[in-house]
């Protein structure tokens, strides 16, 4: 039996062995990088902000795992540095914010003036709400597909879009874009389709995460960011840039920054 993935055909067992081996290697390398970052004293301003954010989560977390997750994600995910580098971000709406560690960090680093985080996982947003005590932040449990409220300077959609069907993704993207104030930006981090082994690895990792209920989503559907999502945003007057956001990981994540005209 053979299987076809992203246009290439392989023997099923060989393909499975390669992909599982690479995913395991990626997980080990990533875990080692994150473990190393835990022991390293902060040096740069963003590392200091991550350190302070981690302290907030250590205090706020009902489970130790929430603290380790927040700290590990901020130190190990290339999206942290990529999004921080876009600052200043002004007022921020973080759709599908999870525990809200990125939003709390942006405030802690002085890169956002206020944040609103929305996620349908009430336990996660409760952690974010506690961690952000004293900050200009609100965290609420809600479905991002029904988001409403005032426009902001930056809307974040980080690793969320792929949980929905094609039509719902398009509708969510347009709804998110409608919350961007003139001159503001929609920042989307997603895994890209059509990037060969990187795309397979990401698909496998997300499939396992959803199956294990690490993420509460309904499905995993990655899109071709340049061919499918960019035209949608350009069609409503946004100017888009897409750049790799996978760092040293083997995944296919990219960052789409869509700017709304003044
Ligand atoms: C992979 S996590 C990313 C979390 C966060 N953006 C981050 O970077 O840490 C995806 C998040 O989307 C949330 N999510 C999925 N579908 C949602 C929906 N319909 N409404 C609100 N949140 C949703 C999940 O609960 C989960 O916290």
Contact (Cβ atoms closer than 8 angstroms) between residue 198 and residue 254: no
Number of the ligand 1 atom closest to the C-alpha atom of 156: 6
Specify the range with the lowest mean pLDDT, choosing from 131-135, 153-157, 159-163, 203-207.
203-207
The Å distance, Cα 96 to ligand 1 centre, comes to 4
> Which residue's CA lies nearest to atom 24 of ligand 1?
216
Residue 34, CA atoms < 13 Å, CB-side half-sphere = 18
The confidence score (pLDDT) of residue 62 equals 81
For residue 143, which atom of ligand 1 is closest to its CA? 20
Q: How far is the CA of 157 from the centre of ligand 1 (A)?
A: 9
More confident site: 255 or 7: 255
**pLDDT exceeds cutoff 60 at 199:** yes
Q: Which residues make Cβ contacts (< 8 Å) with residue 161, sequence separation at least 6?
A: 169, 172, 173, 188, 190, 223
* Weakest mean pLDDT among 2-16, 65-79, 119-133, 236-250: 2-16
The DSSP call for residue 167 is H
- Between 158 and 2, residue with greater pLDDT: 158
CATH number at residue 89: 3.40.50.150
Count up the domains in the chain and report the number.
Answer: 1
Q: How far is CA 19 from CA 159, 184, 213, in A?
A: 21, 39, 21
CA 181 to mean position of chain CA atoms: 21
- State whether residue 31 is helix, strand or coil: helix
**Atom 14 of ligand 1, nearest CA residue:** 96
pTM: 0.87
- Whole-number Å distance between alpha carbons of 159 and 217: 11
Q: Name every protein residue with a CB atom under 6 angstroms from any ligand 1 atom.
A: 73, 96-98, 102, 119-121, 124, 143-145, 158-160, 163, 215-217
Q: How much is the pLDDT for 2?
A: 43
Range of the domain at 98: 2-260
Q: For residues 153 and 184, give the distance between their C-alpha atoms in angstroms, rounded to a whole number.
A: 4
Q: What average pLDDT score do residues 256-260 get? A: 98
Q: What is the pLDDT of residue 3?
A: 46
Return the minimum-mean-pLDDT range out of 42-51, 56-65, 137-146, 197-206: 197-206
Per-residue pLDDT at 4 exceeds 90: no
Q: Which atom of ligand 1 is nearest to the CA of 94?
A: 6
Question: Which whole number is the average pLDDT over 17-21?
Answer: 66
Residue 15: pLDDT band with limits 50, 70, 90: low
Higher pLDDT among residues 242 and 6, named by residue: 242
**Cβ distance 233 to 177 under 8 Å?**
yes
Please name the residue whose Cα sits nearest to atom 10 of ligand 1: 160
What's the chain's average pLDDT?
A: 88
Report, as an integer, the average pLDDT of 173-181. 98
pLDDT tens-place string over residues 101-157: 999 999 999 999 999 999 999 999 999 999 999 999 999 999 999 999 999 999 999
Write the pLDDT tens digit of every residue in 220-254. Answer: 889 999 999 999 999 999 999 999 999 988 899 99
């Amino acid at each position: 039996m053979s299987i076809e993935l992203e246009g290439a055909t392989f023997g099923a067992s060989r393909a499975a062995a390669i992909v599982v081996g690479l995913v395991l290697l990626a997980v080990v390398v990533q875990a080692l990088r994150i473990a190393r970052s835990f022991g390293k004293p902060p040096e740069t301003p963003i590392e200091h902000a991550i350190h302070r954010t981690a302290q907030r989560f250590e205090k706020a977390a009902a489970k130790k795992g929430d603290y380790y997750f927040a700290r590990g994600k901020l130190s190990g995910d290339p999206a942290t540095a990529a999004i921080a580098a876009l600052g200043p971000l002004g007022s921020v709406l973080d759709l599908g914010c999870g525990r809200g560690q990125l939003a709390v960090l942006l405030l802690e680093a002085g890169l956002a003036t206020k944040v609103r985080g929305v996620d349908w996982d009430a336990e996660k947003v409760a952690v974010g709400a506690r961690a952000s005590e004293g900050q200009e932040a609100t965290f609420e449990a809600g479905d991002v597909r029904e988001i409403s409220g005032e426009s902001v300077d930056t809307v974040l959609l980080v690793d969320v879009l792929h949980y929905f069907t094609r039509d719902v993704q398009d509708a969510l993207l347009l709804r998110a874009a409608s919350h961007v104030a003139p001159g503001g930006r929609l920042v989307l981090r997603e895994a890209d389709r059509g990037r060969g082994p990187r795309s397979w690895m990401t698909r496998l990792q997300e499939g396992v995460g959803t199956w294990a209920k690490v993420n509460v989503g309904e499905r995993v559907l990655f899109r071709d960011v340049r061919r499918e999502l960019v035209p949608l945003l350009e069609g409503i007057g946004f100017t888009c840039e897409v750049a790799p956001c996978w760092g040293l990981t083997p995944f296919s994540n990219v960052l789409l920054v869509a700017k709304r005209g003044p």
